[in-house]
Structure 1
Amino acid sequence: MAMHSLRSPSRATRLASLAVVALRRPYSSATVSPLSFDLHEAPRGEEKGSPIIFMHGLFGSKKNNRTMSKVLARDLGRNVYALDMRNHGDSPHHERHDYAIMADDVARFMDEHKLEDTTLIGHSMGAKTAMAFALNYPSRTQNIVAVDNAPIDAPLLRSFGKYVQGMKKIEQAGSLVIRQFLLGNLHRPPNEKTQKFKFSLKTLALSLGHLGDFPYRNPDEVRFEKPALFVRGTQSPYIPDEAIPIIGRFFPRFRLVDIDSGHWVIAEKPELFRQAVVEFLGEDKEN
């Protein structure tokens, strides 16, 4: 696991950001509610900090992050809310599926559960949602952990399209990790004889073309000035070296950690991921 440096956090900046009161605005009619979630609570008497919101990637669900959420709640003494994003798991479906509206879904979830000053952890689609949320709602965000994605426009791996086409032939997905990942989304609806996937295949298939996009284009106009951890799978193409300067412009206090894995970093190297997150969040709380 290779670690790159982080600028020294500014206590004045941190305190000033905590003093900002988040401005509420009417939600778009496209926001969905309520998002399904699992709450993994910190050990009783050991609660030490603000909540963590954990967001999965495309075709995933809150189940993907169950074990890691429990571990982080234990190690950090913080409650962890693992979400089902829209069109996934047990959350509502909607024809709109983009990062701006998913960030608004998270804001609404925070309002409903009276959460503030959160840490956002997201993998892939969840990572870009975390970035979009931090840039749009900086006063509500303590820091972020973005796993194997960057604030750039980049096409999705071709395999995602194949997953849609062959979802009912799971074995075509290739590796055991991916087969298990997709099978976790199967369920049998009431009065149905066959199992179906919980996510909205139709909507997600139509959204694949722009899920590689990032809603913000100009880092000179919007930045997140608090700490951010980017975790890169070195065998994955989603954070190329040329994206690192762009990350720094949107997130000037970022740290980059390289882990020898593919795109599914958390599933492939859970202990290295845990170490990186615990170290990063532990250091941030000390400053």
Structure 2
Amino acid sequence: MKLYANVFGQGKPLLILHGFLGMGDNWKTLGKQYEDLGFQVHLIDQRNHGRSPHSDDFSYELMVNDLHEYITTNHFESVNLIGHSMGGKTVMAFACKYPDLVNKLIVVDIAPKYYAPHHQEILEGLTAIKNASFKSRSDADDLLSNYINHKGIRQFLLKNLYRKDKNTYDLRINLKSLKNNINEIGKALEPEQIFKGETLFINGKTSDYIKAEDTNLIHNHFPQAKIEGIENAGHWVHAEQRDAFYEVTKVFLNN
């Protein structure tokens, strides 16, 4: 599958993979900062997200294959990878399968463990938007507020909304496939999946995605892993505390 990516800068390739229901452009501000560090930044839309192709099939194995195709098509000898949440699971699995292609790995607010499905209300809200007709983005926000109280999360999700034609809005995600394959999102890495390269896990200290008891599991899969917590940040740590996140990642990437 030929993935869509927004690419800018010159230098060592840095590939960034967004989380569930996100898109590469969520990372544009940070991407420009990494460009200034001397990286060629690739903000990738994973399958069924953003401007990348839609498919009935959806799994980490497929997303790893998509990423491998992207890297080999671009003739990269090795890359640096950043992945948030679902994207973090993708880059973890990729690094374990293709360690020689990975220089440094950054995993954002996700552990290599199983997570039970927990996006039901969000998917219900997006389904309501998909099935409704409305005249403005604010109308869509009003509808989504019936399902999601947090305005910041609604704004994040509504980045998927685009004007299909003069009178119609649509979503850039393949909602049907993501709902049908929701159990794939939380899957754990297999015990034999190990990456021995340089790895940084970053978690928001108010998020519960990475817990203290996950430390041993992380080191079982990633023996060189460092784990850094960022204060006053939740699951979207890179957006909530962008400056602190940038500083931690800059040090790791530059060393």
Rounded to whole Å, the distance in 1 between the matches of 2:49 and 2:184 is 17
Deviation readout 1:213-238 (Å, 9 max, x if unpaired)? 12x321xx332111000001111121
Deviation readout 1:10-32 (Å, 9 max, x if unpaired)? xxxxxxxxxxxxxxxxxxxxxx2
Q: State whether residues 177 and 267 of structure 1, in contact with CA within 8 Å, keep that contact through their aligned partners in structure 2.
A: no
Q: State whether residues 18 and 24 of structure 2, in contact with CA within 8 Å, keep that contact through their aligned partners in structure 1.
A: yes
The answer for the alignment partner of 1:199 in structure 2 is: 173
Q: Match of 1:127, as an amino acid?
A: G
Residue 73 of structure 1 and its aligned partner are, at CA, apart by 1.3
Rounded to whole Å, the distance in 1 between the matches of 2:46 and 2:61 is 13
The answer for the alignment partner of 1:263 in structure 2 is: 235
The answer for the alignment partner of 1:145 in structure 2 is: 106
Answer yes or no: is 1:213 the counterpart of 2:175.
no
Question: Which protein has the bigger helix share?
Answer: 2
The answer for the alignment partner of 2:133 in structure 1 is: none
Rounded to whole Å, the distance in 2 between the matches of 1:53 and 1:231 is 17
Question: Which protein has the bigger strand share?
Answer: 2
Answer yes or no: is 1:125 the counterpart of 2:98.
no
TM-score normalised by the chain length of structure 1: 0.80
Q: State whether residues 15 and 80 of structure 2, in contact with CA within 8 Å, keep that contact through their aligned partners in structure 1.
A: yes
Residue 39 of structure 1 and its aligned partner are, at CA, apart by 0.6
The answer for the alignment partner of 2:17 in structure 1 is: 55
Rounded to whole Å, the distance in 2 between the matches of 1:128 and 1:250 is 12
Equivalences for residues 43-192 of structure 1 within 5 A: 47=11, 50-74=12-36, 76-156=37-117, 158=118, 160-167=119-126, 168=129, 169-171=143-145, 172-190=147-165
Aligned partner of residue 111 in structure 2, secondary structure: coil
Deviation readout 1:130-151 (Å, 9 max, x if unpaired)? 1000001101111110000011
Rounded to whole Å, the distance in 2 between the matches of 1:269 and 1:222 is 31
Q: State whether residues 93 and 193 of structure 2, in contact with CA within 8 Å, keep that contact through their aligned partners in structure 1.
A: no
Q: State whether residues 161 and 208 of structure 1, in contact with CA within 8 Å, keep that contact through their aligned partners in structure 2.
A: no
Q: Match of 1:178, as an amino acid?
A: I
Unmatched segments (≥5 aa) in structure 2? 130-142
The answer for the alignment partner of 2:254 in structure 1 is: 282
TM-score normalised by the chain length of structure 2: 0.89
Aligned partner of residue 42 in structure 2, secondary structure: strand
Deviation readout 1:57-109 (Å, 9 max, x if unpaired)? 001011101111111111x2010100010000110011111111101100001
| Identity value in percent | 33
Rounded to whole Å, the distance in 2 between the matches of 1:273 and 1:243 is 21
Aligned partner of residue 210 in structure 1, secondary structure: helix
Q: Match of 1:270, as an amino acid?
A: R
Q: Match of 1:55, as an amino acid?
A: L
Aligned partner of residue 155 in structure 1, secondary structure: coil
Q: State whether residues 60 and 184 of structure 2, in contact with CA within 8 Å, keep that contact through their aligned partners in structure 1.
A: no
Residue 174 of structure 1 and its aligned partner are, at CA, apart by 2.3
Aligned partner of residue 111 in structure 1, secondary structure: helix
Q: State whether residues 56 and 83 of structure 1, in contact with CA within 8 Å, keep that contact through their aligned partners in structure 2.
A: yes
The answer for the alignment partner of 2:209 in structure 1 is: 238
Rounded to whole Å, the distance in 1 between the matches of 2:8 and 2:154 is 26
Aligned partner of residue 185 in structure 2, secondary structure: coil
| Larger relative contact order, structure 1 or 2 (CA cutoff 8 Å, min sep 6) | 1
Q: State whether residues 170 and 182 of structure 1, in contact with CA within 8 Å, keep that contact through their aligned partners in structure 2.
A: no
Aligned residues: 238
